[in-house]
């Protein structure tokens, strides 16, 4: 009961803070010219592109205060690693697109404090096999986890509201299982970031008045990786994030390697009025959004909801896998 009250208080504080900060970020974006084109709208209007800083600032302040008050030992995983990922995203937001080969290398850095401080257990639990020990390999997997998950989460931030709606299902999955296994710290930090995301969603939902930018998506991706590592839910996270990972995989394969957006000549979708439709070009990247609009044009709002439904289904499979493994 006490933990429920703490979670509720943290949720309310984070939601209100993010709501106010998102409004502030919109004004600052216009002031400093940090704007991006909304390519899924007629006339491609300019929209503030660093609204995700509201999520970042809210999370880091509230999570930092929570760590100090609870004297949590998860500073590396729940504070430092997400902060590093967010800074990398902010640099990209301000400077423009980073070199497509440099970005995944930079996103290895959030794993550095986790590995150096030994904030991990090199004995992951595999379904139907049990606990295995991979002392030498696991640190490398920690580095890989941050760059893969951060890029995967960012890859579904493609239409209004999709970042929040596709990130909440895997976060809730990790939180529920963490609560069952007694990892209460993870639940607290999930509550903080989800509340911050919902405050941001108020202005990011269709028609969006602000975009997240890479800072927000990087922080969310790094936090998901941190929870998976600290709660020993690596396999659960992989299953829950299957749509994100496969979307990134489809893009890499169809583009024949890592390329920047400027190198893509044909976009995966086109605009028909206010509706998004799949392109017929065989040279365009293959994405989940392109698949969802292959049969008929759809609105951004519907695409976001469909993406959320896919991620929810995948997250339920992750929970089911955990339950079946526990029973057997």
Query: What is the chain's pLDDT, residue by residue, as a tens digit (328 residues)?
Result: 577 888 999 999 999 999 999 999 999 999 999 999 999 998 899 999 999 999 999 999 999 999 998 888 889 999 999 999 999 999 999 988 788 889 999 999 999 999 999 999 999 988 878 889 999 999 999 999 999 999 999 999 999 999 999 999 999 999 999 999 888 889 999 999 999 999 999 999 999 999 999 999 999 999 999 999 999 999 999 999 999 999 999 988 887 777 666 566 778 999 988 899 999 888 889 999 999 999 999 999 999 999 999 999 999 999 999 998 875 4
pLDDT digits (tens, 9 = 90+) for 221-259: 999 999 999 999 999 999 999 999 999 999 888 877 776
What pLDDT shows up at residue 126?
Answer: 85
What pLDDT shows up at residue 118?
Answer: 93
Residue 58 near residue 73, CB atoms below 8 Å: no
Residue 26 near residue 210, CB atoms below 8 Å: yes
Residue 51 lies in a domain: yes
Residue 184 lies in a domain: yes
Residue 250 lies in a domain: no
Residue 225 near residue 237, CB atoms below 8 Å: yes
Residue 145 lies in a domain: yes
CA distance 323 to 44: 46
Residue 274 β-bridge partners: none
Residue 263 lies in a domain: no
Q: Is the peptide bond before 207 cis (omega within 30 degrees of 0)?
A: yes
Residue 25 lies in a domain: yes
Residue 93 lies in a domain: yes
What pLDDT shows up at residue 281?
Answer: 84
Residue 84 lies in a domain: yes
pLDDT digits (tens, 9 = 90+) for 291-307: 999 999 999 999 999 99
Domain range for 19 is 2-235
Q: How many domains does the chain have?
A: 1
SS3 189: helix
């Amino acid at each position: 009961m006490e933990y429920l009250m703490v979670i509720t208080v943290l949720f309310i504080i984070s939601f209100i803070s993010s709501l106010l900060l998102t409004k502030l970020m919109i004004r600052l974006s216009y002031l400093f010219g940090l704007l991006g084109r909304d390519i899924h709208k007629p006339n491609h209007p300019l929209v503030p592109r660093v609204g995700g800083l509201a999520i970042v600032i809210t999370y880091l302040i509230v999570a930092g205060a929570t760590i100090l008050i609870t004297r949590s030992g998860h500073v590396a995983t729940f504070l430092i690693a997400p902060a590093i990922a967010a800074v990398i995203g902010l640099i990209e937001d301000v400077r423009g697109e980073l070199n497509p080969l440099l970005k995944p290398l930079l996103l290895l850095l959030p794993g550095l404090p986790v590995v150096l401080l030994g904030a991990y257990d090199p004995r992951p639990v595999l379904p139907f096999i049990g606990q295995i020990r991979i002392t030498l390999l696991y640190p490398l997997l920690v580095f890989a986890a941050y760059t893969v998950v951060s890029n995967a989460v960012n890859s579904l931030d493609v239409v209004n509201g999709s970042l929040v709606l596709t990130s909440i299902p895997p976060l809730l999955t990790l939180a529920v299982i963490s609560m069952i296994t007694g990892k209460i710290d993870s639940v607290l930090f999930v509550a903080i970031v989800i509340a911050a995301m919902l405050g941001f969603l108020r202005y990011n939902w269709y028609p969006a008045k602000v975009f997240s930018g890479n800072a927000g998506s990087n922080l969310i991706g790094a936090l998901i990786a941190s929870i998976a590592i600290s709660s020993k839910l690596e396999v659960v996270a992989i299953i829950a994030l299957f749509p994100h990972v496969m979307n990134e995989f489809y893009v890499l394969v169809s583009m024949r390697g890592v390329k920047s957006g400027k190198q893509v000549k044909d976009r995966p979708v086109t605009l028909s009025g206010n509706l998004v439709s799949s392109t017929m070009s065989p040279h365009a990247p293959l994405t989940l959004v392109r698949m969802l609009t292959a049969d008929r044009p759809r609105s951004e709002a519907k695409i976001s909801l469909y993406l959320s439904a896919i991620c929810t289904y995948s997250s339920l499979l992750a929970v089911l896998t955990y339950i079946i493994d526990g029973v057997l």
